[in-house]
Structure 1
């Protein structure tokens, strides 16, 4: 049961991590383009949203890493 719970956690965090990385801005506006505005039109709000998106992405990446390492040690 312990192993299956970490498999579910790893799969869910992998899907969430893919989604969160795709929301980040690359050369375009990223999440602001998704919401229909440009980077310049969303003056103060985009920096807070991007900063929070960075924090959430790091947290999900840490959960994914922890689940992967735990499964690696458990399944050896």
Structure 2
């Protein structure tokens, strides 16, 4: 059980990182340094951003649940 939670934790962490990096930059941050500010008006749609937000939130919930589950299993296992 602990191994399965650790595997899900690593996979959800990687997917969460990818989803956060896929978000469109807002403002003059690092994304505008590499030309992201110019393309921000031309690319992407609001439906895609909403779905990406939902997927990111689901990954955060799975990640947090794995951390809490691993902590409870290791605390009460012996």
TM-score scaled by structure 1?
0.76
1:15 matched residue in structure 2: 14
Structure 1 ranges of 4+ moved more than 3 A: none
Q: Is the 8 A contact 1:39 1:46 kept in 2?
A: no
The answer for unaligned runs of 5 or more in structure 1 is none
1:64 matched residue in structure 2: 63
The answer for unaligned runs of 5 or more in structure 2 is none
Q: Is the 8 A contact 1:17 1:61 kept in 2?
A: yes
> Secondary structure at 1:40's aligned position in 2?
coil
CA RMSD of the aligned region, Å? Answer: 1.9
Count of aligned residue pairs for this structure pair: 67
2:3 matched residue in structure 1: 4
Alpha-carbon distance, 1:4 to partner = 0.3
Alpha-carbon distance, 1:10 to partner = 0.3
Matches of residues 35-74 of structure 1 in structure 2 within 5 Å?
38-42=39-43, 46-74=45-73
